[in-house]
């Protein structure tokens, strides 16, 4: 069983949306989260991926650097070889998300009055849905990016 993680993240770069040969959308994101205790601040930077319609929804509504979003996912190790050396990194496979802020500009294709909340339909029953996740108020001045 892979480790589960959830929390408030900011995109550290614009989302990269690509399509596999079979037409499946895949999005790659750079994420950051931080915690401040007294005068010390700790930051975590993490890459994330998401597939299918969710990748397109995230691209349309939350695909820009600095966007704040609540994410739930699994941590997975990606491995590859570069110049004969084995490389690896931990990535988050996004399972669920909730928007925490409204985007000023609506996507070009759709102009809904409200941003959608999306949940995977195949989540395990014991996983919290985005409806049960509290909205967390974070002061913009405390975020280091």
pLDDT digits (tens, 9 = 90+) for 15-69: 999 999 999 999 999 999 988 888 898 999 999 999 999 899 888 888 789 889 9
Regarding beta strands 85-99 and 40-51, do their DSSP bridges make them parallel or antiparallel, or are they unpaired?
parallel
Q: 88 vs 1, which has greater pLDDT?
A: 88
pLDDT reported for residue 91: 93
Q: Within a 13 Å sphere around the CA of 114, how many CA atoms are in the beta-carbon half?
A: 5
Whole-model pTM: value is 0.64
Gap between the Cα atoms of 11 and 17, Å rounded:
14
DSSP state, 112?
Answer: -
| Beta bridge partners of residue 32, listed in sequence order | 10, 45
DSSP state, 54?
Answer: H
Q: Which CATH class is domain 4-142?
A: mainly beta
pLDDT reported for residue 6: 93
pLDDT category, 99, cuts 50, 70, 90? confident
């Amino acid at each position: 069983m892979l480790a589960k993680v959830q929390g408030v993240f900011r995109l550290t770069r614009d989302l990269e949306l690509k399509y596999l040969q079979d037409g499946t959308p895949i999005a790659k994101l750079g994420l950051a989260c931080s915690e401040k205790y007294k005068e010390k601040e700790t930051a975590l930077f993490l890459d994330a991926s998401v597939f299918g319609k969710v990748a397109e929804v995230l691209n349309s509504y939350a695909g820009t650097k600095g966007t704040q979003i609540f994410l739930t996912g699994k941590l997975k190790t990606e491995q590859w070889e570069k110049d004969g050396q084995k490389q690896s990194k931990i990535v988050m496979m996004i399972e669920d998300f909730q928007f925490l802020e409204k985007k000023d500009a609506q996507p070009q294709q759709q102009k809904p009055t409200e941003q959608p909340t999306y949940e995977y339909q195949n989540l395990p029953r014991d996983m919290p849905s985005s409806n049960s996740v509290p909205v967390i108020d974070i002061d913009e001045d405390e975020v280091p990016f």
